[in-house]
Amino acid sequence: MADADDLFNKAGGLFKRLGSTLKQTTKQVTGIGRGAVRLELDRTKLAPGDLLRGRVVLDLAEPIDAKRLVVSLCAHQRTVSFERKNGARTPVSARSEVFRFDRELAGARAFERATTPFELVVPPDALDKQAPAGSHPVADAMRSIASALAPTAGPVEWSVNVRLEVPWGRDLAATVDIAIAR
């Protein structure tokens, strides 16, 4: 009977190790249960040329091996164009990146619970940013004339993003929208 009990104990130990490995792999792939990354900004309303100050807060349940921690200043603009499909004019919406600046706060290492300050400069021409024009100059000229009657581009939307890049797993990320005005 002792052999059967021994066998059950060994099998139980094997399943316990297998379960713990499966749990760690699931955390790695999904990011669930690993913790969170937060952005804290001193101000969310800035002018072109201002210095944006903030902190990245890593609220991690356990140390995470990651490629890098990067904070980005980004600007996007939604554009609408029209295409002909089956003889009908169909609106097509797209979100274009008009500006991106990445600042690496830390390289590859094991990241733990911490707060890291950062500074980014808002570009002096921030209010002049817009989605790139199409590939056809005549169409671009017609689009600018038509945009006076029916706008086809939305406002430029600015945000600050942080990303903890995890190899072979889901990155931990956060985004805070900001306003740029004079």
- Provide mean pLDDT across the span 74-86: 84
Entry pTM: 0.69
Q: What is the pLDDT of residues 141-170, one digit of tens each?
A: 555 554 444 557 788 899 999 999 999 888
- In angstroms, the CA 70 to CA 164 distance is 7
Residue 104 has pLDDT above 70, yes or no: yes
Of 3.40.190.10, 2.60.40.640, 3.30.43.10, 1.10.10.10, the CATH number of 34-180 is 2.60.40.640
The fraction of the chain above a pLDDT of 70, given in percent, is 73
According to the model, what pLDDT value does residue 129 have? 74
Cβ atoms 143, 134 nearer than 8 A:
yes
Q: What mean pLDDT do residues 122-148 have?
A: 63
Residue 57 sits at φ, ψ, to 5 deg, of -110, 115
The chain-wide mean pLDDT, for the chain, equals: 81
**How far is CA 104 from each of CA 40, 43, 52, 144, rounded to the nearest angstrom?**
17, 21, 15, 38
pLDDT digits (tens, 9 = 90+) for 22-63: 445 444 444 456 899 999 999 999 999 999 999 999 999 999
Instruction: Return the pLDDT at 42.
Output: 96
Please name which of 65, 70, 67 lies closest in space to residue 37, comparing C-alpha atoms: 70
**Ranges of each domain in the chain:** 1-30, 34-180
pLDDT at 89: 82
Strands 35-41 and 114-121: unpaired
Average pLDDT over residues 133-144: 52
